[in-house]
Amino acid sequence: MHNRGWKNHSSVTEFILLGFSRNPRTNWILFFLFFFLYLFTVLGNGLIVTLIRIDARLHTPMYFFLSILSMLDLSYATTTVPQMLAHLVSKNKTISYTGCVIQMYIFLTLGITETWIFAAMAYDRYVAICYPLHYGVKMSQTLCITLVASSALCGLICALVYTVFAMNLPYCGPNEINHFFCEIPAVLKLACADTSLNDQVDFILGFILLLIPLSLILASYVRIFIAILRIRSTQGRMKAFSTCASHITVVTMFCIPCMVMYMRPGSEATPEDDKKLALFYNVISAFLNPIIYSLRNKDVKRAFFKLIGRGEDTP
């Protein structure tokens, strides 16, 4: 008797993740590079979440969404980087079939949730700048929690669709994934079947999960820029624009590589390009977000100095 499920379609019980290089010296250099990137990602995002939790002045919708973004980035990197570090210095570079499915699902869930959180953050800035007098009423705690919960639900459901379509294909060998983690485009290249349907599903879901949030973000910023141009004082304009510039930078760094990875046909992608793109939105983006978004923010700096000053309110 065969067990029903994904394993029924496949003779592969584990995959080998080839990573970046077969040269041990190169791998040790990459190990230390990614170790420090991951360490600072954990510290940076962890610090942001802690400061927002403990400082009452940061208990606003903008910082609530920012703390969610930091938690997502922290989880996102943790899904792939510790395993990548272990594989860089180990001869054993395998991952079980089940482990690959789980990693793929968690990674996609977090990534999809993050794209919708970006849209929620853009809406928050739109309300703050275009309707400042009604901000407290419009961006209620209930609405903020609903936006985060619906983003997470979308991530959980759509990631399941992605994963089921990918792992329902037969994998009969070879089992070497030319990537540093189980990402769908890299895994699909090993399928012993036609993947054109998967390419279509990836494109449609990519359209829904990337282009729709990006359209909402773009619409919010068009309205925001119109409102900023109406502000008479230069200082007022600069203050309003500075709160949006970081968000635009972060969204661009995350979403553009994701669009390239998930919305192009698999036949057009080279493994080395895929790895560089994945590094950008998985590792580099999570590392830079606290720096771009928060550590140059006056409110966060004030909270940080207050924390290390043991209660002294340093401006």
Domain ranges of the chain: 14-304
pLDDT surpassing 90 at residue 117: yes
Pairwise pLDDT comparison (95 vs 210), residue with the higher score: 95
- The count of residues in the chain is 315
Among 20-34, 244-258, 291-305, the range scoring the smallest mean pLDDT is 291-305
pLDDT at residue 11 tops 70: yes
CATH H superfamily, domain 14-304: Rhodopsin 7-helix transmembrane proteins (1.20.1070.10)
Spatial contact of 302 and 315, defined as CB atoms under 8 Å apart: yes
Please tell me the predicted confidence (pLDDT) of residue 119: 93
Residue 134 DSSP class: G
**pTM assigned to the model:** 0.85
Model confidence over 33-67: pLDDT tens digits?
999 999 999 999 998 899 889 888 888 898 899 99
Contacts of 168 (CB under 8 A, 6+ apart): 6, 9
- Look over the chain and give the mean of its residue pLDDT values, rounded to a whole number: 83
Q: Could you read off the pLDDT of 148-204 as tens digits, one per residue?
A: 999 999 999 999 988 888 888 888 878 888 888 888 888 888 888 877 777 787 778
- Give the residue ranges of DSSP H helices in the chain: 24-54, 61-88, 97-130, 135-138, 141-167, 184-188, 196-206, 212-229, 234-263, 271-279, 285-289, 298-308
Nearest CA-CA partner of 222 in 248, 250, 256: 248
Alpha-carbon span 61 to 141, nearest angstrom: 7
pLDDT band, very low/low/confident/very high, at 266 (cuts 50, 70, 90): low
- What is the average pLDDT across 293-311? 71
Say what the pLDDT of residue 43 is: 92
Check pLDDT > 80 for residue 269: no
Phi, psi of 15 (to 5 degrees): -120, 155
pLDDT (mean) for 273-289: 82
pLDDT at 5: 44
Per the omega criterion (within 30 degrees of 0), is the bond before 82 cis? Answer: no
Q: Quick one: pLDDT band at residue 21, thresholds 50, 70, 90?
A: confident
| pLDDT number for residue 165 | 84
